[in-house]
């Protein structure tokens, strides 16, 4: 995420909320019936779709506004393609000084480091220099491997210095660069949900492209159905799952990629080789928090199907669908009975 907005991102997780589609925009309803409304805007370089279930249209409007405002506010702190954000300043001051940041930026970096620990470094927010060298989003080019290897000392996430008391972040080497593309949308979804709730919404969905967080229920008491995209057949779903107070996120090799000399190059990199990882086609994670679902999908994509699924089974409240490099699908034990065929 937070790459330039002109890049067309095909959906990997398709949010298929039938009720909201039928009702469309805010519709007047009897006082006792909650209203369901849905609206989309472009933020963080991606399509952001909010769905709100609210007691009345005025609360619905407030919740919509609160959700979009929160996402816009976070983008101003966290985007790394704008030079004037907090995180861009942290990157610009690498090797020079610690930068004082907001609670939100600090929290996202701390949660990112938690995800790195959990995935034994598979998830790595210090990969910025390598992500830039590839820049799969903007151009189709394979960087020279010797040049990539020179970046290795700069991608050491264990060297990132976070001072919780002083509320500062310091990247100790010049050229280091935090990249939150693998976790920021999930984090933004969590925070937008919190604001929508505070504004009075009783249920809803925040979807930043394929990073989706749901809360509450639809008026008839159902959860929110979400479709999971087939990694090789565009537009085809592999399953539908109903979510209640859960987030879902998918990392896939089919979203941002190019093919050169028969080789598929995509945007999820191995922190070891700094090359695109080739052990999975897609990893979908369901968790209570968006920040966990988004961080883990990228980290587990790197760990691979076996180690990744073992990690998922060890984490309470986390479920996964992993499709390995050959196209074989594995579903975590707690999710098997919840999947519906599309
Ligand atoms: P998206 O939903 O935007 O496709 P993902 O959650 O799949 O995001 O993460 C991919 C993005 O994460 C990349 O575009 C890059 O910015 C960043 N990234 C790539 N490899 C890693 C990694 N091993 N650890 C953390 N972030 C990564
Ligand atoms: Mg991710």
Spelled out in words, what is the top-level CATH class assigned to the domain 69-182+217-342? alpha beta
Q: How far is the CA of 284 from the centre of ligand 2 (A)?
A: 9
Ligand closest to 299 (CA) is 1
Phi and psi at 196, nearest 5°, equal -65, -40
Residue 9 class from Cβ within 10 Å (0-12 exposed, 13-18 middle, 19+ buried)? Answer: middle
Local structure of 101: helix, strand or coil:
coil
β-strands 35-43, 46-54 pairing: antiparallel
Q: Is 107 exposed, middle or buried (0-12, 13-18, 19+ CB in 10 A)?
A: middle
Q: Is 251 in the pocket of ligand 1 (CB under 6 A)?
A: yes
Ramachandran angles phi, psi of 5, nearest 5°: -70, -10
Q: What is the pLDDT of residues 89-139, one digit of tens each?
A: 999 999 999 999 999 999 999 999 999 999 999 999 999 999 999 986 677
Does ligand 1 have an atom closer than 6 angstroms to the CB of 70? no
Q: Map out the domains of the chain as residue ranges.
A: 69-182+217-342
User: 3-state class of 219 per DSSP?
Assistant: coil
Q: Is 271's C-beta closer than 6 angstroms to any atom of ligand 1?
A: yes
Q: How far apart are CA 3 and CA 283, in angstroms?
A: 21
Q: How far is the CA of 25 from the centre of ligand 2 (A)?
A: 30
Q: Is the CB of 131 under 6 A from ligand 1?
A: yes
Ligand 2 centroid – CA 118 distance (Å): 14
| Mean pLDDT score of the chain | 91
Tell me the pLDDT tens digit for each residue of 148-167.
999 999 999 999 999 999 99
- Give 172 Cα–ligand 2 centroid separation in angstroms: 25
Atom nearest to 302 CA in ligand 1: 23
pTM of the model: 0.92
């Amino acid at each position: 995420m937070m790459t330039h907005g002109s890049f067309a991102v095909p959906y990997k997780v398709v949010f298929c909320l039938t009720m909201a589609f039928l009702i469309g925009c805010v519709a007047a309803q009897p006082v006792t019936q909650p209203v369901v409304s849905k609206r989309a805007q472009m933020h963080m370089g991606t399509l952001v779709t909010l769905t709100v279930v609210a007691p009345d249209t005025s609360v619905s409007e407030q919740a919509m506004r609160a959700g979009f405002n929160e996402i816009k506010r976070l983008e101003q702190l966290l985007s790394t393609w704008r030079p004037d954000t907090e995180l861009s300043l942290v990157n610009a001051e690498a090797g020079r000084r610690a930068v004082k940041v907001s609670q939100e930026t600090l929290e996202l970096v701390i949660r990112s480091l938690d995800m790195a620990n959990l995935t034994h470094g598979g998830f790595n927010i210090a990969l910025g220099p390598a992500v830039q060298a590839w820049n799969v989003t903007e151009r189709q080019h394979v960087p020279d491997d010797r040049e990539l290897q020179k970046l290795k000392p700069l991608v050491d996430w264990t060297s990132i210095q976070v001072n919780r008391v002083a509320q500062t972040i310091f990247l100790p080497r010049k050229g280091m660069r935090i990249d939150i593309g693998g976790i920021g949308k999930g984090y933004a979804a969590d925070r937008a949900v919190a604001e929508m709730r505070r504004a009075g919404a009783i249920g809803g969905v925040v979807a930043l492209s394929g990073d989706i967080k749901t809360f509450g229920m639809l008026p008839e008491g159902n959860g929110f159905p979400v479709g999971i995209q087939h990694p090789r057949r565009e537009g085809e779903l592999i399953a539908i799952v109903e979510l209640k107070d859960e987030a879902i996120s998918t990392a896939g090799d089919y979203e941002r990629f190019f093919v050169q000399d028969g080789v598929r190059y995509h945007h999820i990199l191995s922190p070891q080789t700094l090359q695109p990882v080739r052990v999975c086609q897609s990893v979908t994670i369901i968790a209570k928090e968006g920040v966990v679902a988004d961080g883990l999908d990228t980290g587990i994509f790197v760990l691979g199907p076996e180690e990744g699924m073992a990690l998922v089974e060890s984490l309470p409240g986390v479920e996964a669908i992993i499709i390995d490099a050959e196209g074989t699908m594995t579903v975590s034990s707690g999710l098997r009975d919840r999947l519906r065929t599309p």
